[in-house]
Amino acid sequence: MRTPLIAGNWKMNKTIGEAQALIEELRSLLPANESVEIAVCPPYVALTAAKAALAGSSIKLGAQNAHPEPKGAFTGEVSVTMLAGLVDYVIIGHSERRQLFGESDVFVNAKVRAALAVGLNPILCIGETLAENEAGQTEAVLERQLRDDLVNVSAESAARVTIAYEPIWAIGTGRAATAADAQQRIAFIRAQLRQKYGAVADSIRIQYGGSVTPANAEEILSQPDIDGALVGGASLKAADFAAIVRAALK
């Protein structure tokens, strides 16, 4: 009943021309299908060209961040309002935003609510650091992030949120969580969502992210609670990203 979402987080990679070329390659490699949703999230400057390159394709477009205010004196920022109509998805609260740019749960929550209000579908990233993991605090961290990041988000709106469970120690390290561990954490997240939202929790997509590759995708994506992946490094190569999508189709 949940359609998996394979989303590519390109991070700060690809010029406009490179983004167009990657999308062309993806369009030739990715089979049109109904059972897996696919999205690419290029940098802001490439979004317009990416949208044009995706015309007539079922591949969706996402942004990597957004400011919750509709407009104003926020030099260098791009608002949810500006993204509405241009993209379908927006990644919110990625650990790089939280760690490198000091984003708090309060700010992340404001972004989630603002994105929902303008019709964007947030991909809300949560996950523990290595230190928190080793100290046995993973569940406490996930519980806190879910509570604080979803303040004043109704069950109806929550159904439009995709959660990405991304253990920070797995991002860009080549050391993914095991499929069993990822399944366990994501089942925990779903249980938390069930407490807050009841049966709606069963329709909320929860992805895994962190060093997903063609080699580990099939095992990770075959877990019952894992509804797709947020893919960083491997989304920059069309063949790898296509292989991950194919793994989701199995």
Q: Which residues are catalytic?
A: 94, 166
Of 197 and 241, the one with the shorter C-beta distance to ligand PGA is 241
CA distance 143 to 213: 27
Backbone angles phi, psi at 7, to 5 degrees: -120, 135
Helix (H/G/I), strand (E/B), else coil: 118: coil
How far apart, in Å, are the Cα atoms of 216 and each of 5, 19, 123, 171, 180?
16, 25, 22, 14, 12
Of 119 and 172, the one with the shorter C-beta distance to ligand PGA is 172
State which of positions 172-201 bind ligand PGA (CB under 6 A).
172
Which burial class, exposed, middle or buried, applies to 96 when counting CB atoms under 10 A from its CB (0-12, 13-18, 19+)?
buried
Among 146, 212, 226, 244, binds ligand PGA (CB under 6 A): 212
Among 123, 233, 238, 242, binds ligand PGA (CB under 6 A): 233
Of 68 and 93, the one with the shorter C-beta distance to ligand PGA is 93
Which amino acid, residue 36? V
Least distance to ligand PGA, CB of residue 56, Å: 27
CA distance 70 to 68: 6
210 is an interface residue for ligand PGA by CB under 6 A = yes
In the block, residue with structure tokens 């992030």: 145
Phi-psi region of 120 (alpha: psi -120 to 50; beta: other; left: phi over 0): beta
Least distance to ligand PGA, CB of residue 109, Å: 20
158 is an interface residue for ligand PGA by CB under 6 A = no
DSSP letter, residue 200: G
127 is an interface residue for ligand PGA by CB under 6 A = no
CA distance 146 to 176: 22
6 is an interface residue for ligand PGA by CB under 6 A = no
122 is an interface residue for ligand PGA by CB under 6 A = no
Among 23, 36, 153, 171, binds ligand PGA (CB under 6 A): 171
Among 40, 47, 126, 231, binds ligand PGA (CB under 6 A): 231
Binding mask 51-80 for ligand PGA (x = CB under 6 A): ------------------------------
Residues that bind ligand PGA (CB under 6 A): 9, 166, 171-172, 209-212, 230-234
